[in-house]
Structure 1
């Protein structure tokens, strides 16, 4: 069953022909900036299974991981749609959960870049919190959970 979604104004639509590979919160500083101070919530899919139509603009930036990441936004309403690594270790496309017609398809199970979060950041109980993200030397080091925040 394909998954569908789109931006806030409806100018961009997408179809995904694969099931999610997982979902996670990202508290890196770049994501905090584009999410107005919160984490982004990302559902992971094989990039080859995601097809967007409509006016998208992109920006590329070297992330804290050292990877070059492309982020896609609707040119009309500014909704952030996805991010994907374009230089660095191959990774799934990260589709913003809020753009999916059904954001319930895959709840987050992991927090990445946990130490970058402000002290007031809400962390779900018992969720694994990692120090960094994919492709970073610290990728597999848990840092904190809700009980010791």
Structure 2
């Protein structure tokens, strides 16, 4: 079993993840581009039960293009993006790769919401690609 740790830029929020990533994705949806300064977010999906978060998270919720309510969590002190959660998939939390401590063995295998990518975006052709939302991965 893998173990990952993470922390925000100021150290107020930390995480321990005792489990395998169910999927590692690059997301090009407009909301992700907004929180990632125009780039995609790079995210690892973990089963909710394997994640322990310490510290106080701030959140923002909205209805995404998928029709699901997404809740974005971040450190209220320094603003570091921590994770996302979809109302359609409460069994998963999607942690931002930049929040996770390095080194780690996680890298995107899938690019999603590619139809929202700007014309100048460079998407690795080796990645499996979905124009919109792919089906959820099974919990391993």
User: 2:101 matched to which residue of 1?
Assistant: 101
Q: Unaligned 5+ residue runs, structure 1?
A: 136-149
User: 1:128 matched to which residue of 2?
Assistant: 128
Structure 1 length-normalised TM: 0.84
SS in 2 for 1:122: coil
CA distance in 2, matches of 1:134, 1:9: 34
Q: What is the aligned-residue RMSD (CA, Å)?
A: 1.7
Match status 1:78 vs 2:79: yes
Please say which structure displays the higher CA radius of gyration. Answer: 1
Shift of 1:88: 2.2
CA distance in 1, matches of 2:88, 2:119: 30
CA distance in 2, matches of 1:91, 1:132: 20
Question: 1:110-137 CA deviation, whole Å, 9 max, x = no partner?
Answer: 00000100011121132222111146xx
**Residues 25 and 39, structure 1, Cα contact 8 Å, conserved in 2:** yes
Structure 2 length-normalised TM: 0.89
Comparing both chains, which one has the higher relative contact order based on Cα–Cα distances under 8 Å and sequence gaps of 6 or more?
Answer: 2
SS in 2 for 1:123: coil
CA distance in 2, matches of 1:119, 1:52: 37
Question: 1:75-108 CA deviation, whole Å, 9 max, x = no partner?
Answer: 11000100011x2244521100011113632211
**Residues 97 and 103, structure 1, Cα contact 8 Å, conserved in 2:** no
Q: Unaligned 5+ residue runs, structure 2?
A: 136-140
**Residues 48 and 90, structure 2, Cα contact 8 Å, conserved in 1:** no
CA distance in 2, matches of 1:2, 1:126: 27
